[in-house]
Amino acid sequence: MPEIVPNSVLPARREPVTLTTSDGLALVGELALPLEREPSATMVCLHPLPTHGGFMDSHLFRKASWRLPAMAGIAVLRFNTRGTSSPAGTSEGSFDEARGEGLDLVAAVREAVGRGLPDPWLVGWSFGTDVVLRHGDLDPVVGAVLVSPPLRFAGDAELDRWAAGGRPLTCLVPELDDYLRPDEARERFARVPQAEVVGVEGAKHLWVGEKYVRIVHDALVERMVPGSARLDYDWLGPMERWSDL
């Protein structure tokens, strides 16, 4: 039986999107939807630090858009925050240290709502987790998953707001992270009663390797679509292979 590999692309309805922020910027993005059914949940992606190479195609998110619509029925909305470039194009504006990026997050949530997409979850990775913590505790967001949270631009005040809001919060923290490791993360997030900190043995900040990609995606699906079957990486349907060449 064919197995999903790092460059496997499964069937989905994919389309470019342009998000417009309340301060008038146009952001480049992509929406991937299940091919033959309505989505069961919506994943809004906030990418790693753009000044250090983060963008909407950062591998955890690009692979989520390739896989999760078909494997789990999840709609995946990715976009470049202000001033960020990717092969899809460059978003207007300039990097704003997780301040103006809050307007970008709101624009993405508004896009999901406008399209009638269900149960939006915010998934931040590295810098994206700071954007989520600072700006993501808003309706109709169901909850958030933080992947490698560095707590660089967000601190106790933001954690206290999430605690008061009550939305579920899961933190996937690499054992060998460069910024925040599991024991310290448990101490910092202890002020959020509903926060779950999951330490991942052997993982590093960038989650390189198919083993770690699957750990992240499995965790996302488990929380976004409760009761769903575990992802099956043996795929019987159509499958293409992506090449950046």
The answer regarding whether domain 13-225 maps to CATH 3.40.50.920 reads: no
**Full-model pTM:** 0.97
**Is the CB of residue 188 less than 8 Å from the CB of residue 159?**
yes
Mean pLDDT in residue range 121-135: 98
Q: What tens digit of pLDDT does each residue of 151-193 get? A: 999 999 999 999 999 999 999 999 999 999 999 999 999 999 9
Looking at residue 143, its amino acid is: G
Can the peptide bond before residue 140 be classed as cis, meaning omega within 30 degrees of 0?
yes
pLDDT of residue 1: 61
* Every domain of the chain and the residues it spans: 13-225
pLDDT of residue 85: 98
pLDDT band at 245 (very low <50, low <70, confident <90, very high): low
pLDDT of residue 2: 83
- Name the nearest CA neighbour of 47 among 120, 118, 104, 113: 104
Q: What tens digit of pLDDT does each residue of 1-46 get? A: 689 999 999 999 999 999 999 999 999 999 999 998 999 999 999 9
- Name the nearest CA neighbour of 91 among 131, 130, 56, 136: 56
